[in-house]
Amino acid sequence: MPELPEIETICTGIRPYIEGKTIANVVIRQTKLRWPIPQNLREVLTNLVVIAVLRRAKYLLLETNSNITVLLHLGMSGSLRIVNSDYLHTKHDHVDFIFTDGNILRYNDIRKFGYILYSSKPIQQHRLIKVLGPEPLSASFSDRYLYSHAKNKKTSIKAFIMDSHNIAGIGNIYANESLFMAGIHPARLAGDISLKHCKELVRCIKIVLNLAITQGGTSIQNFINAHGEPGYFQQSLAVYGRANKDCVHCATTIKQQKIAQRSSYFCPQCQSL
DNA sequence: ACTGGATCCTGACTGC
DNA sequence: TGCAGTCAGGATCCAG
């Protein structure tokens, strides 16, 4: 389930193989993803040069030497790998971006929750991009920002930080881990979090995401990097997936509860309501 | 304006 | 062994 650190890992992994390279062809085996792949994707991309591989929230962006930017979202089961033509495609390998040097950027997505689109406008103006909140690792995501935007909100703090319109790229795993580290109960109302606690939460979100990036992301079900290798952050998870186990701090039993339709894990002792 | 629920999908897992 | 049911989850859409 790729979140920000996983996309960052993939971005770093594929960049050396495709930046500055020319797209020779695009093979689409399955168009029915979350949204249909544009019918003319192959026609539009052929002969373009990828000049930059970027990440915004959980989107991976391929900038080209024309006005076209490819926008990729991996949903929850998507992966991208660099392969060559010796690797035969398998069941859920939906799209191949084939480069003139023989490398292939292969998109696989078991659950088809992801999507591939392109934009001919500046990508910041794209309807999916312009509504995003600040990057959590940027300076603009501050205690002041969190406090002022969460003020008066009657939703849970967990749902709030997972909403990409508020903060971009935090999914269920890192929301759980950040709230645990900050000692904040996931069901607390966003509007009730003090400036002091906002400061602590912002600090913890940045620590958790940075640590996950250095460990190559989290492989819970099927995350793999551009070379087909798993990440290692799952070994550092303090609460996510640890229902009925002992809290790493106080040995209280970790509780699991659905909050905002998502499995939430917390220590009832360390994280006060 | 704001909030929460339904929805898309497949595979792993559980229980009978 | 086989089948049915449940769960995982990002982000959009829609209803209240």
A113 touches strand B (CB under 7 A): yes
Q: How far apart, in whole angstroms, are the C-alpha atoms of residue A243 and residue A70? A: 39
- In this structure, the number of other CB atoms found within 10 A of the CB of residue A7 comes to 24
- In this structure, the number of other CB atoms found within 10 A of the CB of residue A246 comes to 12
* A93-99 vs A59-64, strand pairing mode: unpaired
Q: Region A81-92: what's the mean pLDDT?
A: 88
A254 touches strand C (CB under 7 A): no
User: CA dist A156 to A24, A92, A159, A202, Å?
Assistant: 48, 36, 5, 16
Catalytic (active-site) positions of A: 2-3, 58, 262
- Which of residues A43 and A76 earns the better pLDDT score? A43
The length of chain A, given as a count of residues: 273
**Residue A165 CA to nucleotide C10 C1', Å?**
12
**Residue A138 CA to nucleotide C15 C1', Å?**
36
Q: Sorting pLDDT into bands at 50, 70 and 90, what band is A227?
A: confident
**Residue A39 CA to nucleotide B9 C1', Å?**
21
Q: Which nucleotide is nearest to A172 (CA to C1')?
A: C9
A75 touches strand C (CB under 7 A): yes
Q: Which nucleotide is nearest to A91 (CA to C1')?
A: B10
Q: How far apart, in whole angstroms, are the C-alpha atoms of residue A267 and residue A183? A: 9
Rounded to 5 degrees, what are φ and ψ at A43? Answer: -60, -45
Residue A60's nearest CA partner among A94, A13, A110 is A13
Residue in the block written with tokens 């929230």? A57
What pairs with residue A26 in β-bridges? A97
A263 touches strand C (CB under 7 A): yes
Q: Sorting pLDDT into bands at 50, 70 and 90, what band is A198?
A: very high
Q: How far apart, in whole angstroms, are the C-alpha atoms of residue A122 and residue A68? A: 8
pLDDT of residue A226: 78
pLDDT for A156-183, tens place per residue? 999 999 999 999 999 899 999 999 999 9
Global pTM reads: 0.94
A155 touches strand B (CB under 7 A): yes
Residues 41-70 of A with CB under 7 A from strand C: 57-59
A258 touches strand B (CB under 7 A): no
Most confident region among A1-5, A11-15, A34-38, A97-101 by mean pLDDT? A97-101
Residue A168's nearest CA partner among A126, A135, A144 is A135
Residue A237's nearest CA partner among A251, A227, A247, A228 is A247
Residue A213's nearest CA partner among A143, A113, A137 is A137
Q: Which nucleotide is nearest to A34 (CA to C1')?
A: B8
Query: Angle, to 10 degrees, between the axis of helix A195-214 and the axis of helix A143-150?
Result: 120
Q: Region A25-40: what's the mean pLDDT?
A: 90
A91 touches strand B (CB under 7 A): yes
